[in-house]
Amino acid sequence: MELVAQAKLKTLGDYAHEAIKRHFKKTLKWEKTVKKDEDPEALHQMRVGMRRLRTAVSRFGLALDLSKPVSDKNIGKIARCLGTLRDLDVLKESLENTYRPNLPHKEQKSLQTAFDTLSKQREDALEGVQARFKDEHYKSLKQGMNEWLENPSYLPVASLPIQELLPDLLLPEVSSLLLDAGWLVGTQVEKAKVVIVKDLKAEKIEKELATNGKMLHTLRKQAKRVRYQMELFTDLYAESYSVYLADVKNIQDILGSIQDIVVLEEWMRDVFESEIETKLPTFVNLLAENRYKLWQQWQALQERYLKPETRHGFHLTILHPLTV
């Protein structure tokens, strides 16, 4: 109970400073290792750190007086640059660990073309990251962030207790998530009720994803924003909050895996052009099988979150932070 009391005394400004400091320090921790290209995990951690920092800066922006270089836009540019390199690492990891071991010898040999292309593209992307570390945008972001953390400047709302503001901070993003059109992919509306179309054959799922895959990708990005924002406040809510947060992470992960397959297939078709079906038939079939499995996982979550009681429960949880 004492911990809750301490948390209650914290202001929006306190929480903003703590979150920004934590994510900024974690991001900088990986810079040297990424610059030297010593460990793919370091790149992953720095990219995630930059994304979380961006979430903190944008979501707490209403309470912060930040210099121009410390902006959502500037952080986004750096995160995207890191993301280009990281996406190539994910492609390589997927090809090496998920697909190559399950291919016949002939197709494994054909994959070498893909690995050669990846290697060249990765060299260019790494140069882009290393150049970004040297440019003025990055240097001014670091300088501006260090100066603000040392001598923070706030807007009036920052002095209010965090728990008074939590629902208003979180509900707009949660509502955007729950109203996203991606929830209606693979459904029909009958008499004002949403009905999930179940037992679709693999070919139908392929067609659905080809037509509406971008909508699911948009939903995934919104889930990621909600997840990062919710993670800032886990200590201020009861256990039910963690359950919804776990669901949001699961939504992000499953839809992310579906998107990874889309990106991988598009990239492979660019490399092999019309020859992919003849040179890599087993690989193409594996992509379809994995998509099908992920679709089944997605529909279970989709069904849960299309129920009014689930959405109502989510809202109620956000409305009731811990109190003494």
In sequence order, what DSSP letters do the residues of 39-103 get, joined into one string? -HHHHHHHHHHHHHHHHHHHHSGGGB---TTSSHHHHHHHHHHHHHHHHHHHHHHIIIIIIGGGS
pLDDT by 10s per residue, the chain, length 324: 334 444 446 899 999 999 999 999 999 999 999 999 999 999 999 999 999 999 999 999 999 999 989 988 999 999 999 999 999 999 999 999 999 999 999 999 999 999 999 999 999 999 999 999 999 989 999 999 999 999 999 999 999 999 999 999 999 999 999 999 999 999 998 888 899 998 888 888 988 998 999 999 999 999 999 999 999 999 999 999 999 999 999 999 999 999 999 999 999 999 998 789 999 999 999 999 999 999 999 999 999 999 999 999 999 999 999 975
Give this prediction's pTM: 0.90
Long-range residue pairs from 42-46, CB within 8 A, at least 24 positions apart, any chain: 43/82, 43/85, 43/86, 43/89, 44/86, 44/89, 46/82
How many alpha carbons lie under 13 Å from residue 111 in its C-beta half-sphere? 24
Q: Reduced to 3 states, what is the DSSP secondary structure of residue 212?
A: helix
| Phi, psi dihedral angles at 179 (to 5 degrees) | -95, 0
Residue 307: strand, helix, or coil: coil
Rounded to an integer, what distance in angstroms lies between the CA atom of residue 139 and that of residue 100? 41
Distance CA 159, CA 31 (A): 33
Q: Pick the closest to residue 181 from 227, 224, 212 (CA basis).
A: 212
Write down the residue that tokens 């903003």 correspond to: 16
Q: What is the DSSP letter of 189?
A: E
CB 21 within 8 A of CB 149: yes
Rounded-to-integer distance, Cα 295 and Cα 200, Å: 10
Closest CA to 218 of 188, 256, 262, 265: 256
Report how far residue 114's alpha carbon sits from residue 143's, in angstroms, rounded to the nearest whole number.
40
Locate 19 and state its tokens. 């979150």
> Is the dihedral angle over the CA atoms 132, 58, 43, 115 positive or is it negative?
negative
Give CA 34 to chain center in angstroms. 20
